[in-house]
Structure 1
Amino acid sequence: MSALLEDFADGYAQRGIRLDGFQVEACRALLAGRDVLVAAPTGSGKTVVAHFAVELALAAGRRCVYTAPIKALSNQKYAELAGRYGEETVGLLTGDTAVNRDAPVLVVTTEVVRNMLFANAPEIDEVGCVVLDEVHYLADRERGPVWEEVVLALPEPVRLVSLSATIANVDELAAWMGSVHGRTEVVTSEVRPVPLVQHVCTGRRLVALHGRGSEPSKALVSALQGLGGDPRARLGNRDRRRIISLLEERDMLPAIEFIFSRKGCDQAVSALVRGDVTLTNRDEQAAIRRRLRDLRGRLGESDLRAIGFHAVSAALLRGYGAHHAGMHPALKELAETLMSDGLLRIVYATGTLALGIDMPVRSVVVESLRRWDGDGFADLTATEYTQLIGRAGRRGKDDVGHAVVVGTAETDPYELAALGSGKVESLLSAFFPSYNTVVSLLAEQPYSRARAMMGRSFAQYQRNADLGRIEARLARIRRRIALEARELRCDRGDVVEYVRARAASGRAAKSSRKEAKRAYRARIADSFAGARNGVVYAVNREGELDYVLVLSGGRERLRVLDWYGEASWLREGDLRSELREAASVPIPQGRSLRERPVREDLADAIAQAVEERTELGVDRDLLEPWSRFAVREDDALLAHPCASCRHIGEHVRAAETLLSLDARERELTELAEGCTDSVGREFDSTAGVLRDLGILQGEGEATRLGPGAAALRALHVENDLLAYRCLTDLREGELDAAGFAGWASMFLGDDRLAGGLPHGRLGALARRALADADFLRDVEARHGLDRTREPVTRCVDVFSEWGSGAGLDACLRGSRMSAGDFVNAARRLIDLLGQMAAAGEGTWIGPLAREARTRTRRKEVM
């Protein structure tokens, strides 16, 4: 161990902390000049590796850049590092904040370091190490592409430290990083410093989730079976008070309770206040009151009313509060601080608290395993669940952490046990080359080199792996097609040729379609009547392909078990296809199918028996409508020698598997073509749009930047091309600074700002922006892209008034937004106005955008 690492470890030892094996392994890899990718559970101490990277860079006289995916996490890391190394050593750069930008340690959002790299900023020459915290966010649709661009553009001598929660395909991610930047050491840990115990709350009891291994405990299975009531009913106030009592009795507070609804969080807190529930003592209340007094002094009385300060403070004084994106950031940060200082007992939160914010507690309660994803309710993924419960257990304070899921009558103990097993999903790249990315790359390098960089993205790396799997599957399908073709014979001629021509013959006459429908209903009836016990059948059930094992039955109904282990009754009327015999599976004798393990074993046997059929898609044709059997018998088809065979109906039926495999081959061939050089082709399409607009000129290696490219290069928003076009369409004198701020809010891409049009001149400009969006979508469609979104126009007037000095309370009423949403939008608007000032540098737009930014950047939102 080097002297630097020894001194580093001794510093922790003096605080009573001994470095774990994975931390030492990662630090040694950095000393050896290698990049590291650390994947470990939440709270395991990954930040220790980042701290060593900082000290390694400082010791070499180099700078260290620490990146985080969101501003709140950047602020938290800045405070942490400034406390450790001194404020003079650490700087902060986010879209709307700049503190000590020349410091040797710089905390930035990922977009900032990406822009430095793409602009070949001279500061990069001084950097010895870049830390990518929460690197698993490269799977995020909005944030993810920036992570990949940082890895792709980072100079090879700069060491890269990537920190991630546990991910399933960590070796794949590390292999990609190694291929594009340099040897990357994978350091993983499955061990939590504070062990985690998982429970399920069933009424007034806490029951252990797991029994042996990853199986649910017998006590849990029994307890859930005994639950009654409406399984869809939401938790009430009495239920939440009961949960607090349960946790308090077992010394399991403080806790975070995840509700996944802003309104639900607020209502839970209000109910406790109305019930005069108090969880703090007099000394704790005095400490909380001092913090509240500090915050109160920073805001005016009208602003305090607007953000609900008095209601929030009443709850915090009693030892509980809410935490969600709709709250004013100052109130959220206060809740985080109070919880970290041990002054709160419970916080009701939405899932945003799991996004890397450091607020560990003794226990985490998960009220529901479903959450709102913006479009509808979706089941929690294993990764999301693991992140949520990862907050439980405070290092140095707790011997054990607790995760509690609230059970209902519909909770499946086996599914929950699998969710809590620690197995998480693979990380999938969300990368695509944006318009800004394309012009930024082409400003610094020739077309072929820029395109090649896109081909080295993690997205293409994964698609290349997919291509290998697709081609292997295609080879198997083609072998099976050849086998099926050899089995088909007709004395009259080439029956394979005939059935393929028949399948491609087009829509049949109405009379033929009616006859085909009648004949297929008869086939369904015959297959149902002929179903045999112990046989697995493929069937279209409710529009999905299912494989069911017939257990018993008679003329009216069949008792079946599907390949998910669920038993049900099947009637002829439930079928949308015939029952197609697929395999045989013996039904165990002397064992009750009421027992879940027995059904699970049978389900595994069904899945194994039909594995090749599902891999090759043999039975996918059952999902197609019956009308596929009605064909248009044109002259060419009638003239085929096989058309006159008296057994042709039997031949056609025997060829159904062949035709189904033909369809799968076509699908997979198209998929393979889509994977090949897909990111490079998307780069070409993006460049094609920019050429049509004159932003790029020339083809291939002769491509050069056209007028306006520099302005587009300065814009780093999701709707970058629309923002650019509308900015260049503006005419001098159309807007004052306040109006410019309101106008710019259209390009924030926040659905909460979508809605009606503004008034007067701003309304005319909004309609112009809508027309520009339509025009750009037409251009994109010619190149096979779908990028440009509608401008969001509902709060243009409100942000214009904000820029004119209107109060926070008035703007919240006018926008119909929560305080947190408004402040977050205002902060992003400040960032965007700075980008627009850079885009308009040297023109009248630059000074106007800077003044608009100054007017928007008020203390109430900072």
Structure 2
Amino acid sequence: MPARTVVLEKLVKYNGEAHVPITPGEYTQLTGRAGRRGIDIEGNAVIQWSPTVDSAAAAGLASTRTYPLRSSFAPSYNMSINLIARFGRERARRSLESSFAQFQADRAVVGLSRQIRKNETAISEILLNAKCHLGDFIDYASIRREIKEVEVLLSRRDQKKSFDNRQRSRLESDLGDLRKSLRNHSCHSCNEREDHARFAERAGRLNRENEGLRTRVESRTNVIAKTFDQICQVLTHLNYIEGEKPTAQGKILTKIYAESDLLLTESIRCGLFDELNPTELLSIVSCMVFESRSSENTAPKMPSTKVSSSLTEVISIWAQLEEIESQYGVKTQREPDAGFCDIAYKWASGNSLQNVLKGSDMSVGDFVRSTKQLIDLLNQIAGASEKLRPTCKEGVKRIDRGVVAYLMGAI
């Protein structure tokens, strides 16, 4: 959210695998929030000094303003079902086909297609040099290639103790037949046979390269619309859409726009949260917005047996969804992360900030950001489920206090 001043504690970020320097684009995105529209004449961006901060690198980030725009857009379940509800499935698909992300994918396809055409021209020229007056040299070269493949296969099988004698006999028989076909071929007696073979091999390499390029073209053509189709298949499988309209349970999904939108909606539909009190509810749903920065695989602390058992049920639903998604070639729902469950529970129970963060490597800034995301998620659930609304509203009251309320109010 915009603020009068933006302070960057460090110029590195965790990208899911390692801590890496932020890019000029990321720096601009972060500092671009400085200055509230209609309130501030200008905004300020401050980089906190530390011995590890390179002043020249900081100046370079601040002065760099030219970098390519790359769309990371991908259809989500919430976005897809809202488009269907508003425009119908076919019109929604056409809209996605004209998106900037698809434009970039199509632009990449143009370059790949150009390379394919270039290779095809080269292949045609090479094959002229491989032409033999005695017969079809491409057919002859194909037999040579098959012989080489069988020879390689036999040499690899020799190294395996499990290699069956019948398999060896069959391969040796095939190899003998191929060598006989090679000797009997009309091009075998050509004086320029090896020269022709070199040209044929070059043409073969280019053909194999084109096969790979065509596969890449196919994977990028209409990729956004294809993803939308796959998402619609999952939604139909789960009875969230029927024909051109969302079902009753699909309408719940239209109001949940978190990253784990489908997992959260399924949890609501299964009544997983119905018997939880406000503190337990906010603790368990935090696993759908929080993402640990640490790469440690230690099991996070659970605040209560009830929260722990609820987490087990959430993970079970996630595993079922992952299996359904894999059937249709989709991967959108990340695994629940329970790293904030205990912290959120303690904060909602009235503990001081010092006690809440004691023994944790979480900074105050990360705590406030995660709590703000949790408040947003609780408000989404309140808007989607009338039954859970009172519990969610009470949960928001319990965590929207102290430093969280102060910093959110100052934004």
- Following TM superposition, by how much is the alpha carbon of 1:451 offset from its aligned partner in structure 2, in angstroms? 1.0
Q: Per the alignment, do residues 420 and 740 of structure 1 end up closer, same or farther by CA in structure 2, a change over 3 Å counting?
A: closer
- What TM-score does the superposition give when structure 1 sets the normalisation length? 0.38
What's 1:707 paired with?
A: 248
Q: Report the count of equivalent residues.
A: 365
Q: What does residue 424 of structure 1 align with?
A: 66
CA distance in 2, matches of 1:455, 1:649: 50
Identify the residue that residue 850 of structure 1 maps to in structure 2.
393
State the match for 1:828 in structure 2.
Answer: 373
| Aligned mates of 1:379, 1:501 — CA distance in 2 | 54
In 2, Cα distance between equivalents of 1:464 and 1:644: 46
Residue number in structure 2 paired with 1:719:
260
Larger relative contact order (C-alpha < 8 A, sep ≥ 6)?
2
> Structure 1: how far apart are the matches of 2:245 and 2:229?
14
Change (3 A) 1:490 1:745: same
- Output one character per residue of 1:108-148: Cα deviation in whole Å (capped at 9) or x when no partner: xxxxxxxxxxxxxxxxxxxxxxxxxxxxxxxxxxxxxxxxx
> What is the CA–CA distance in structure 2 between the aligned matches of 1:830 and 1:638, rounded to whole Å?
77
Contact 1:484 1:657 in 2 (8 A): yes
Match in the other structure for 1:770: 315
* Alignment pair present for 1:375 and 2:17: yes
Q: 1:674 aligns with which of 219, 224, 230?
A: 219
Structure-2 change in CA distance of 1:691 and 1:471 (3 Å): same
Equivalent residue number for residue 109 of structure 2:
467
- C-alpha distance in structure 1 between counterparts of 2:64 and 2:108, whole Å: 25
Q: Specify whether residues 348 and 847 from structure 1 end up closer, same or farther in structure 2 by C-alpha distance, changes over 3 A only.
A: closer
1:350 partnered with 2:10: yes
CA distance in 2, matches of 1:752, 1:743: 19
Question: What is residue 241 of structure 2 aligned with on the other side?
Answer: 696
Alignment of 1:726-805 (within 5 A): 726-731=267-272, 734-752=275-293, 756-757=299-300, 758=302, 759-805=304-350
**Paired position in structure 2 for 1:87:** none
Q: Percent identity?
A: 26
SS in 2 for 1:745: helix
Per-residue displacement from partner, 1:513-565 (whole Å, max 9, x unpaired)? 699xxxxxxxxxxxxxxxxxxxxxxxxxxxxxxxxxxxxxxxxxxxxxxxxxx
For 1:387 and 1:443, the matched residues in 2 are separated by 32
Amino acid at match of 2:105: R
2:137 to 495, 499, 506: 495
Q: Deviations 1:385-417 (Å, cap 9, x if unpaired)?
A: 8889999xxx99xxxxxxx9668xxx9xxxxxx
Q: What is the Cα deviation at residue 478 of structure 1?
A: 0.8
Going from structure 1 to structure 2, the CA distance change for 1:769 and 1:643 (only over 3 Å counts) comes to farther
SS in 2 for 1:673: helix
Query: Conserved in 2, the CA contact under 8 Å of 1:719 and 1:749?
Result: no
CA 1:787–1:371 in 2, change beyond 3 Å: closer, same or farther? Answer: closer
Match for residue 448 of structure 1?
90
Q: SS of the residue aligned with 1:714? A: coil
Tell me: CA distance 1:642–1:808, structure 2 relative to 1, closer, same or farther (3 Å).
farther
CA distance in 2, matches of 1:751, 1:634: 61
Alignment of structure 1 residues 535-574 onto 2, 5 Å = none
* Structure 1 or 2: more strand by fraction: 1
Match of 1:484 among 99, 120, 126: 126
Distance in 1, matches of 2:62 and 2:125, equals 45
SS at 1:851 equivalent: helix
**Partner of residue 163, structure 2:** none
SS of match in other structure, 1:751: coil
Aligned equivalents of 1:721, 1:834: Cα separation in 2: 16
Change (3 A) 1:502 1:796: farther
Relative to structure 1, the CA distance from residue 776 to residue 454 in structure 2 (aligned partners, 3 Å threshold; closer, same or farther) is same
Cα–Cα, structure 1 residues 823 and 493, in superposed 2: closer, same or farther, change >3 Å? same
Quote the Cα distance in structure 1 between the aligned partners of 2:61 and 2:349.
Answer: 51
Rounded to whole Å, the distance in 1 between the matches of 2:355 and 2:63 is: 49
1:795 is paired with a residue whose SS is helix
| 2:314 aligned partner, one-letter code | A
Give the one of 181, 194, 200 matched to 1:639.
181
Question: Aligned partners of 2:289, 2:8: CA distance in 1, in Å?
Answer: 29
CA contact (8 A) 1:762 1:797 kept: no
Distance 1:806 1:349, change over 3 A: closer
Cα deviation for residue 651 of structure 1 reads 4.5
Q: Please state whether the residue corresponding to 1:444 is helix, strand or coil.
A: helix
Distance in 2 between residues matched to 1:782 and 1:716, nearest whole Å: 23
1:46 aligned partner: none
Distance 1:836 1:633 in 2: 67
CA distance in 2, matches of 1:713, 1:673: 31
Paired AA for residue 213 in structure 2: L
Q: What residue identity is the alignment partner of 2:284?
A: W
Q: For residues 392 and 71 of structure 2, what CA distance do their matches in structure 1 show?
A: 35
Cα distance between partner residues in 2 of 1:452 and 1:386: 32
> Offset at 1:424?
3.0
In the TM superposition, what is the alpha-carbon distance from 1:840 to its structure 2 partner?
A: 0.7
CA contact (8 A) 2:287 2:338 kept: yes
Provide the rounded CA distance (Å) in 2 between the counterparts of 1:348 and 1:850. Answer: 32
> Which residue in the other structure is 2:402 paired with?
859
Change (3 A) 1:451 1:510: closer
CA drift of 1:638 comes to 5.3
Counterpart amino acid of 2:398? R
Per-residue CA deviations over 1:608-655 (Å, capped at 9, x if unaligned) read: xxxxxxxxxxxxxxxxxxxxxxxx847457535279558766654443
Q: Is the 8 A contact 1:694 1:706 kept in 2?
A: yes
Matches of 2:55 and 2:146, distance apart in 1: 55
Name the residue aligned to 2:383: 838
Distance 1:788 1:794, change over 3 A: same
More helix by share: 2
Q: Residue by residue, what CA displacement relative to the aligned partner does 1:672-729 show, whole Å, maximum 9, x if unpaired?
A: 222322211111111111111111123xxxx321231111111111111111112222
1:402-438 CA deviation, whole Å, 9 max, x = no partner? xx9668xxx9xxxxxx999957332111111100001
CA distance in 2 between partners of 1:450 and 1:729 (Å): 29
In the alignment, residue 729 of structure 1 is paired with which amino acid? C
Superposed CA offset, 1:295-339 (max 9, x none) = xxxxxxxxxxxxxxxxxxxxxxxxxxxxxxxxxxxxxx6xx6xxx
The 3-state SS of whatever aligns with 1:787 is coil
C-alpha RMSD of matched pairs (Å): 3.8
